[in-house]
Structure 1
């Protein structure tokens, strides 16, 4: 019995020693991983921005303006997933149809060179006027995000409209500039 008791006590002491050492290593690793995540820029950001755009000469639209709210989840220091919503007003060349809509888009940002990014988004523009149908919106562009939160981007944004809409215009697109500010959460 004494031998079994000694083996049991030694095993228990060894298990306790390995467990506490292992827990300490896991705690240190977790803290290192967390600080690495913070240093790499991982986390959530909320951005507010204003934008304006110009259309090509052959487009029935002349210019646009709007504002948006953008959520950004940094998966790594190089890749982020985005979701945005906002108001956009399109102004026609001949003042016949001036559609405005609430846009809801999702996308991806890839930080190719430090703070410079390439971005793509797709989503829907929900018409505000009576009889207006939903537009399909797609965009692609690039920009720069400063450490202080300032975000400036340029994009091409295309619109595909439903022909049954009271605010119908043929498929067109704009070259837009967005100036925003990101708040880290």
Structure 2
């Protein structure tokens, strides 16, 4: 009886496997970083605002910018930006208006989140004002076409400038929308 049970079990198993179609599961590859593969371009239009430390001669700042982003790899991009920034001074001092022209690098260590650094010049608009050296570092997050970031932006001014202020910096927020080219 045991032999008949074994034969019957084996026959049932063979019949089951013969009539069932087997499909291997396919695994879809997902990229942890949404940046485009290879080289791609984006143009971002943004607004920003910031506040200064208590010891600074400046109170707050606001501005707008246009940023070109060239994605070298899915994890590294080179940036160039220009725009307008106004620094509002404390205690009836002279406000500073300038056109920032900066270049930098963005690194995407995790999905959609980036670390960014930039350096460049703040070309003064007022008569007698000198060009500032600008440097910044921060982090941000890209989602959809939107870009939200925070940064520290430092300014070094020439003492011969009519809008001179000692070395200072702002803590700023930037909100932008990126257009793919």
The TM-score with structure 1 as length reference comes to 0.78
Equivalent position to 1:153, from 138, 143, 149 = 149
Name the residue aligned to 1:13.
none
Counterpart CA distance in 2 for 1:97 and 1:159 is 16
> Per the alignment, in what secondary structure is the counterpart of residue 130 of structure 2?
coil
1:121-169 deviation line (CA, Å, top 9, x unaligned):
00000000000000000000000011x2100000000000000000000
Counterpart CA distance in 1 for 2:82 and 2:38 is 23
Counterpart CA distance in 2 for 1:111 and 1:64 is 27
Name the residue aligned to 1:173.
169
Counterpart CA distance in 2 for 1:119 and 1:95 is 34
Equivalent position to 1:66, from 63, 67, 71 = 63
Name the residue aligned to 2:25.
none
The TM-score with structure 2 as length reference comes to 0.79
> Per the alignment, in what secondary structure is the counterpart of residue 133 of structure 1?
coil
1:40-119 mapped onto 2 (5 Å cutoff): 40=37, 42-119=39-116
1:132 and 2:129 correspond: yes
> Per the alignment, in what secondary structure is the counterpart of residue 51 of structure 1?
strand
Structure 1: unaligned runs, 5 residues or longer: 1-37
After superposition, the CA RMSD in angstroms is 1.1
- When Rg is computed on C-alpha atoms for both structures, the one with the higher figure is 2
Counterpart CA distance in 1 for 2:113 and 2:81 is 19
How far 1:95 moved relative to its partner?
Answer: 2.1
Structure number having the greater helix percentage:
1
Counterpart CA distance in 1 for 2:148 and 2:173 is 7
How many aligned positions are there? 147
> Per the alignment, in what secondary structure is the counterpart of residue 158 of structure 1?
strand
Structure 2: unaligned runs, 5 residues or longer: 1-34
1:102-125 deviation line (CA, Å, top 9, x unaligned):
000000000010100000000000
